[in-house]
Amino acid sequence: MEIPQIPKDKFKLLNNKGNKEQEKIGTPALTYMQDVRRRLFKNKVAVVCLTLLSIIVLISVFAPVIAPYGPNVQHATLSNLPPKLGNLNIPGFNGYQNMGGKMVDAYQQVHAPKGTYYILGTDYLGRDLLSRIIYGTRLSLIVAVLATLVDLLIGIPYGIVSGWKGGMTDNFMQRIVEIVSSVPNLIVVILMMIILKPGLISIVLAIAITDWVTMARLIRAQTFQLKEQEYVLAARTLGESSTKIATKHLIPNLSSTIIIQTMFTIPNAIFFEAFLSFIGIGIPAPNASLGTLLSDGQKAFRFLPYQMWAPAIILSIIMIATNLLGDGLRDAFDPQSSD
């Protein structure tokens, strides 16, 4: 049987150049951190929270420049004035107050100098609430940052050593963790205040003494997994020291866990400081923090609600934004965790 011949003109030579163009990858290769940043900025909620927190931090850092008055400057004749925003007649920000069933201009009642106004009003001592909230937020952020730094300095080395050594060393170190975590934070604060004076140092130490436990446990669990990886085993085979392996291989691969846990530690520290100041064992007077402002505001909340609303809103924004940003960072570093 004769096999039919196919004419050569039926064949078409493929363009090698065109094939190579088709085989090119459409998107450029990204490093791990570039991919994390791309995923983070695709999360609109996380971006909004990051923007809000950045604004709050910048205002707190430049408090001496931004605050219109000193946080402790008193004007006894201008006490409990309502919010007023210049000469604008905006309800709630026009300086009017309900007195005896009538809305009267509180600034005229106390004969305030012309051109005097307070955007968020004044407290019972005539101190500008806006300035005190700015400085109070600054102090609360300082407490949170210092407590978080101590948390990192203790929790990361402790967790790495516990997970790296294992065996009896790990068992002994974990028993210490269990003992520390069983002691309530409030008892530690009271003990710190007996030893030290009430203030910034005692609060930071109280938070740091107990809050490093969570970081240490997370780092320990991750170290158990990382020390069995091929690159770590190769480094040990080549004779690298444990310290070098920890700094060169473990800590860089633990960065996502550290960053995410830090974002959840900061709001916890802020809330704990606010709670202590609210119940009267935190930052001493006349210094302002979000907790002391809430404590002062709730005493006159029935008649002067604005004195409590403003610090409560700022505290809520910080707490919610930090937690949502932490969720966004967790999803960015580990996309599978959001599935």
If pLDDT is split at 50, 70 and 90, which confidence band does 27 have?
low
If pLDDT is split at 50, 70 and 90, which confidence band does 339 have?
very low
**pLDDT tens, 240-298?**
888 888 888 888 888 888 888 888 888 888 888 888 877 777 777 778 888 888 888 88
Q: Encode burial over 237-261: b for 16+ CB neighbours within 10 A, e otherwise.
A: eeeeeeeebbeebbbeebebbbebb
CATH fourth-level superfamily of 44-333: MetI-like (1.10.3720.10)
Higher-pLDDT residue of 312, 279: 312
**pLDDT tens, 204-232?**
888 878 888 888 898 988 888 888 888 88
**pLDDT tens, 48-107?**
999 999 999 999 889 888 888 888 888 888 888 888 887 777 787 777 777 777 778 778
Residue 31 has pLDDT above 80, yes or no: no
Residues 6+ apart with CB under 8 A from 233: none
**pLDDT tens, 155-164?**
889 998 888 8
- Range of weakest confidence among 94-108, 109-123, 224-238, 297-311: 94-108
pTM, to two decimals:
0.79
